[in-house]
Amino acid sequence: MKTNLAALVVGFIFAIGLGVSGMTQPEKVVGFLDLFGNWDPSLIFVMIGGIVVHFVTYKLIRNRKSPLFSKEWHVPTKKEITPALVIGGVLFGAGWGLGGYCPGPAVTSLASFDAAPFVFVVSMLTGMGLFRLFDKKVTIKK
C-alpha cells in the first residue's frame, strides 16, 4: 500500500512539474526541437533543473542500504546497445518530434480533454500492444 501511495504522490508531483514547465504543450516541445526555425530554448532550463535535482538526490538516495518502500534496489544492469534499443529510441524521438508529446506529458494532457493527447495515447498504447505481439512471435522463433 505504501508503494502505491508513494507512486501516486510522485506521479502527481511529476504531472504538476510537466504542466508548470510547459512540457504538456506540444507547440512548446516542437519549438524547442526546431533548431533552424522559431527555436524556443526555454526547455533547456527544465532539463538543467531535472539533471541537477537527479544528480544531487541520486547520490544521497543510493547511499541507503535499500529504498524506502522496497527491500532491494531495482537498478538496470544491462549496458549493451542493442538494435531494439536503437530502434525504440528512434521511434520515441520521432514520435516526440512529430507529435510534440512523450508518454508522461501525453497522459498528463488527457486532463485537458483535448483530442490530440487522446489520439496520441491511444496510438501509443496500440503501438505497445503491437510490439508485444510482434516480440512474442519473434521470441518464439529463436
Residues 6+ apart with CB under 8 A from 103: 124
Domain range for 134: 2-141
Question: Identity (one letter) of the amino acid at 79?
Answer: K
Residue 36 grid cell: 533552424
Residues 6+ apart with CB under 8 A from 37: none
pLDDT at 140 over 80: no
What proportion of the chain, given as a percentage, has pLDDT over 70? 96
Question: With contact defined as beta carbons under 8 Å apart, do 104 and 14 qualify?
Answer: yes
Please give the model's pTM, rounded to 2 decimal places.
0.66
Domain count, the chain: 1
pLDDT (tens digit, 9 = 90+) per residue, 82-113?
Answer: 888 898 889 888 888 887 888 888 888 898 89
Residues 6+ apart with CB under 8 A from 41: 32
